[in-house]
Structure 1
């Protein structure tokens, strides 16, 4: 059972059933420097708050709707980043609300304050102090990486300011920001353990620093460096793929050897809202704000490895989701799927789940793997952790970076085959031969990018891949549609007044037709409070 204990003023006795672990924290909105930094416990609590700064499930899943993986009708969505639809269809502007959700200098300040003040703690264990500093540096690196990925040039703040005037600083170039993030990770890695036991499970490890560094380097074009850092994680032998792809995202997969960085959710006190955001109405009463798009569903290979899947001799237009890559069934609910409550998913006839209905799907699909399958009666009570960085991503990072740096190799195939073997899919060589593809850097690049989309679907990575690959004009421009069941489906009954037919229907148009959408504008509300910040040139 996962454990989490929140210290709340005047309410500790209400949580005595929860055991103590690394998310323990004191109320940090009000404390005195003269009295706070006096014990090791103070330092641990202050440092541990950085784990709350990590992207939670409810937050980061929204990025799926900004990509070609999903659609979100978010006009009335009260969730964080509720403007996912506007970003996804490129109709957002500098005054669009919540663009500043990732402009988080409050988190930066907290980290810098710890690094500045922790040395005041008397008689503190030096090894513990070094480890906590390293954890805070990983958090700083992550925060600056995300801000630079979205806003490009951002202020690189390295000190705690005492007045608003001091805090009014200009942007630094993205390269300088990324270089500092890498420096923090290099400093952190030697002071972090390979793994933890007991209540410390879930804290940043050495592999977390290496894996995050590999991601940052990959995203910023240092392929040789990214491959080297990913290889450190691989060669450490600390991490491995969870045997079952679907269950790796359920409660049983939390703290597994595949999980490198996760946001910890606990049903009793820190639930995730994925059952509402991605929940099927007939199962949990979810409102299903987030809907997988047909472009994602259609991208899964056939079970034999044919791509596109319609090339497979076994393809049946009346049962298009059968005989497909098993990760499709693990990731997506499609017509005829067996739901978590053992009923058949029918978005064509079922009143609760009918396409376009209240709290129902818009596309005909719903996400499955991120939905906590336990205690189905509560829609906002998910307890499964949000996987921020997992070993499969490290393998994909190694494959992509190594291919870009030096071209195809046996080591790349091994990394990809580990992922495909876990998914019960044919290996790389068999798949290339089956489809008549020639092995070279270009074809392997296409294959790796496809594998990355499929393996990481529903986890929020696709939008960032589109930005770094600069493929927005190709995949986020033009109309998007519902599923196409105009030929009729054999898995949905057509008797008793029911139909098994649904025509392909347009949902909206998307307008990623300019390079300016590769960078977010600085929100107008932030610019209005600063004299030295300058709007991105593309957005002036």
Structure 2
């Protein structure tokens, strides 16, 4: 547990995290070290050094999910995508089970999170030494809000650990020194969830509301973020992996030792509390969710908690766009699978396996759920003044050694670049690519899932599906059902909601964790290889869509439902218990 020991923070320019905060907080020169005495100076009535410390902790705690796993999205370790790169990219190592306790996977967060947890605790313990004069818009002292922001970051960091490892050591407000005992045991899964939920309950009333956020406090943790974290933690706690499906029945570190239906009600109530506050609502257009910043900088009414990622650029586009747009750039890093594409129904809302969808295998992208075209590029997609060509020999599937799609698909989601009518050839326009952790659509889906699991299909559950599908642009009928089957059983609704969640939240680091908490990762990974298409264009111009396997994934069930605790931690700490089968 030496990773828990104090690491002196080297400050650097933190304005890239909160661009508006650059107006208020001066950065500290690179190389200047900060100690608690400097950061929490009783003579600093403006709290400038303390704020720099907090913003640095934000940056240490939050991560940018765009292409974060060795240049790929985490979803490329699920059944929704594969990495386009040759060899064995880091994300493919996760998908094929190429990791162990001694060879950690690229998503391991043990050391980074405990470092950030300690720094958050330093702020929490010491901020009251600073006589800050700043007030919130409602007249309350700002210092309490800043302290609660650090408590949120700490709770969020713990949750990221819990969903990867199960129960982990809880350090409370202690700041251990090198001479202190750091031989600490893991807390139970239930105790960790209770701690996270309790922290969220205790801080939410002292945080800013969404309406209090100004240009100078853009990106700060709000009341809504604390409520969303609580709802997510309770949803995971109620899910099959931890609630009755414990991979080692009597082991309190890996989940609850018995099933409790009421855990679903707690999760539903937590999500419903966010809905009832009325602070957030769905954006009118699905694509705008990902290219529009929150108020007051933008008019995004849907995002609740996010990381502001630098300044406007086209990194997401250049990393993931089809490779044939040489003038604009496109490295095609992500290849969505046919498995994901098949999850999108028709524009009338029916699954493509339903005769009512009128799905045509020879024209597979016609009359589909509009979210499909906003999530993936397929052959024939219109982009920057021409159609995407992913047939063999096409501009975007040229063959040879250049990195290109392995499935005939490219990632489209998150891209806000557009062609300029004044530019020839067309080029990308810089956009903010904030990484969103919580958005209102996710809260609605959490609520619907938890409510269905607790009491079965209801009007409230159906209304969530109607709202999301209406926003998506799904056509409706006289009954305004948007293709949602009526009279579903609880099991049928479960299946339907899981698919809706998959298409709505694709590439938002949800699918990877969902198939684990639902305890279906074994069959998802092991039943068949992931699929793509081999498109052949005949001399007469006819396209042939040939299914092909693209990757055989591996999931050692039940071992891989939790990550192994890093071996270095186990050998240094006699009280550290390894996860089962590792």
Query: Which residues of structure 2 form unaligned runs of 5+?
Result: 1-9, 135-139, 239-262, 421-425
Matched residue, 1:326: 370
* Larger CA deviation: 388-397 vs 175-184: 175-184
Q: Distance in 1 between matches of 2:358 and 2:97?
A: 39
Q: Are 1:425 and 2:474 counterparts?
A: yes
Note the 1:92-171 alignment, pairs <5 A: 92-99=99-106, 101-103=108-110, 104-122=113-131, 124-125=133-134, 127-158=141-172, 159-163=174-178, 166-171=181-186
Q: Distance in 2 between matches of 1:295 and 1:285?
A: 27
C-alpha deviation, 1:352, in angstroms: 4.5
Compared CA separation, residues 428 and 461, structure 1 to 2 (3 A): farther
SS in 1 for 2:374: helix
Map residues 432-511 of structure 1 onto 2, 5 A cutoff: 438-484=487-533, 494-495=538-539, 500-511=543-554
Cα distance, 1:499–1:8 mapped onto 2, change above 3 Å:
farther
Mapped contact 2:91–2:106 kept (Cα < 8 A): no
With structure 1 as the length reference, what TM-score do the two structures score? Answer: 0.86
Supply the distance in 2 between the matched residues of 1:363 and 1:164 (Cα, whole angstroms): 55
CA positional deviation for 1:387 = 1.5
Distance 2:478 2:529 in 1: 34
CA contact (8 A) 1:25 1:46 kept: no
Conserved? CA contact 1:70–1:291, under 8 Å: yes
**Residue 274 of structure 1: SS of its match in structure 2?**
helix
Matched, 1:338 2:382: yes
Map of 2:402 onto structure 1: 358
Q: RMSD of the TM alignment (CA)? A: 3.4
Report the Cα offset of residue 410 of structure 1: 1.5
1:257 aligns to what?
A: 301
1:279 matched to 2:321? The reply is yes
Aligned-partner Cα distance in 2 for 1:395–1:429? 24
CA contact (8 A) 1:274 1:380 kept: no
CA 1:336–1:138 in structure 2 vs 1: closer, same or farther (change >3 Å)?
same
Moved more, 281-290 or 392-401: 281-290
Deviation at 1:495, TM superposition (A): 4.6
- Asked if 1 retains the 8 angstrom alpha-carbon contact of 2:293 and 2:434, the reply is no
CA gap 1:375/1:142 in 2 versus in 1, 3 angstroms: farther
Aligned 8 A contact 2:283 2:289 in 1:
yes
Aligned residues: 518
User: CA 1:133–1:378 in 2, change beyond 3 Å: closer, same or farther?
Assistant: farther
Q: 1:313 to 1:398 in 2, by over 3 A?
A: closer
**Counterpart in the other structure of 2:275:** 234
Aligned to 2:260: none
Unpaired runs of 5+ residues, structure 1, are: 1-6
Q: Among 190, 199, 205, which residue is 1:175 paired with?
A: 190
Paired residues of 2:314 and 2:428 also in contact (CA < 8 A): no
